[in-house]
Copies of this chain bind each other. A is one copy, B any other.
């Protein structure tokens, strides 16, 4: 019998739609993978009587509830108060929590506002959940049938606390049999084309297939039942990778986690000891921004005008040339910066065309390497933020393909 869990988000910004509740989706994925059945998500605003009513309902009908939001320092953050009133507990000061909040501010050389001390009061008998990432500690308690966990609503704090402090507590408290989720991460191919490529494959009945298209990648998800034979799992995954082809840049859930596109590139750049310089046009800084914290990126630059860039680099500006112009730019940058690899992205259209969501643009990517030149060319459409992001990703993907092909001894599976 799988345990039931609910997810509960609190906050005016969520109930009024100012914020999309992405926390709930993230938590639901984690909880399904751990072996829970997720029964409900509920959102209410910062309203004491709504909160109390919901907490009582949940306490009677489910085994576990993960709650986010309402732990901030301001008067509209009411979670601890609502829990205390709903379940007839008093609020009591946790001195360790108060000490942690003080330390958070002193480490940042800032004065702690008086209102922050409110965050150290928990319902009597609750277990404190430390927060290393912000000022709001969480807490947990059992009430009627349900074990409640209260976490802050700030996604980065909530996710870190869940991963490092809640996951193992859930495994201790509940008899969970985790399903095995394997995720094939791909780029440069749409969801429906991807589905066409694999629709000849027949999967065993107990394996669930799903897709998720995000802004950065398309994921193909295989959910295997707990205890599935690992040779069979690997075999099915290999067939799937074969069908999709080298759009797949990473497979998560088999052995170690390979991660996102930049994380895959980072591993290969480090293994191969290479450095990179980038010239951006349409992505306007976003290629560099995505590589944050990686020292193999030596330099990057952006120019609004190709004419001006050509003048600065002292090369001939040929408006009709595409890859040829990109190659001249790459050569000059390599001379100036001395990087092993130079990635040049060329957009030759107008800024109006780029801004217009009804017009597609053409992008030329060129990668200068010690072994020669790699090229790719794409049509990209949609609103400008989508174009910018796709331009950055597809340029980085040219680099990823080069690094993975070169490193053919490094196998994905």
Contacts and interface: CB of A to CB of B under 8 A. Distances in A.
Nearest to A160: B383
6 contacts: A14-B41, A109-B379, A284-B300, A289-B289, A293-B355, A299-B303
Interface string A295-314: 10111111111001000100
Interface string A99-140: 000000001111001111000000000000000010100000
Contact of A300 (B191, B302, B357): B302
A193 B135 CA distance: 13
Interface in A60-117: 72-74, 76, 107-110, 113-116
A292 B384 contact: yes
A30 to B, nearest CB: 8
Given A17-B29, A40-B43, A133-B357, 14 more contacts: A15-B38, A15-B41, A16-B38, A39-B50, A40-B50, A72-B191, A113-B193, A284-B292, A284-B300, A285-B285, A286-B289, A293-B351, A293-B354, A293-B384
A386 interface: yes
A280 interface: yes
Given A39-B44, A210-B76, A382-B133, A27 B20 contact: no
A45, A46, A210: residue with the most chain B Cβ atoms closer than 10 Å? A210
B29 A16 contact: yes
Contact of A113 (B28, B44, B192): B192
Nearest to A211: B74
B312 A336 contact: yes
Nearest to A9: B41
B298 A288 contact: no
Chain A contact patch, size range = 35 or more
Which 4 A-B residue pairings sit nearest by Cβ, starting from the closest?
A17-B28, A285-B288, A285-B285, A17-B29
A86 to B, nearest CB: 16
Contact of A196 (B18, B27, B113, B336): B113
A226 interface: no
Given A15-B28, A41-B15, A73-B195, A285 B299 contact: no
B44 A32 contact: no
Given A32-B16, A42-B41, A289 B293 contact: no
Contacts of A293: 351, 354-355, 384
Interface in A1-49: 12-22, 24-32, 38-46
Given A43-B41, A285-B289, A301-B301, A20 B20 contact: yes
A304 B312 contact: no
Contact of A288 (B13, B14, B284, B385): B284
A26 B19 CA distance: 9
A213 interface: yes
A15 B36 CA distance: 12
